[in-house]
Structure 1
Amino acid sequence: MNILTFTTRFGQDAETKYTQAGKPITTVRCPVDSGWGDNKHTSWLTVVLFGERGEKLCPHMRKGGKATISGELRVREFERNDGSKGTSVEVIMREIELQGDAPSSDQQPQQNRAQAQGGGQPPADDFETDSDIPF
Structure 2
Amino acid sequence: MAVNGAQITIVGNATRDPELRFSNSGMAVASFSVAVNFRKMNRTSNEWEEEEPSFFRVSCFGDMAENVAESITKGSRVVVVGRIRIREYDTQDGERRTSVEISADEVAPSLRWATAEVSRTERRDGGGGGGRSSGGGGGGGRSGGGGGGGGFDDDEEPF
TM-score normalised according to structure 1 size: 0.67
In structure 2, do the counterparts of structure 1 residues 23 and 79 end up closer, same or farther at CA, with 3 Å as the change threshold? farther
Does 2:28 match 1:24?
Answer: yes
1:45 and 1:90 in contact (8 A); partners too? yes
Residues 35 and 41 in structure 1, CA contact (< 8 A), matched pair in contact too: no
Q: Aligned pair in 2 of structure 1 residues 88, 54: CA closer, same or farther (>3 Å)? A: same
Superposition pairs of residues 80-99 of structure 1, within 5 angstroms: 80-81=91-92, 84-99=95-110
Asked which structure has the greater CA Rg, the reply is 2
Which residue of the partner structure matches residue 141 of structure 2?
Answer: none
Partner residue, 1:120: 116
Larger helix fraction of residues: 1
Q: Give yes or no for the alignment of 1:14 onto 2:10.
A: no
- CA-based RMSD: 2.9
Gaps of 5+ in 1: 101-115
The amino acid of 2:57's aligned partner reads T
Identity of aligned residues (%): 22
CA change 1:132–1:43 in 2 (3 A) is closer
Q: Matched residue pairs, number?
A: 116
Is residue 58 of structure 2 the alignment partner of residue 44 of structure 1? no
Paired letter, 2:75: G
TM-score (norm 2): 0.58
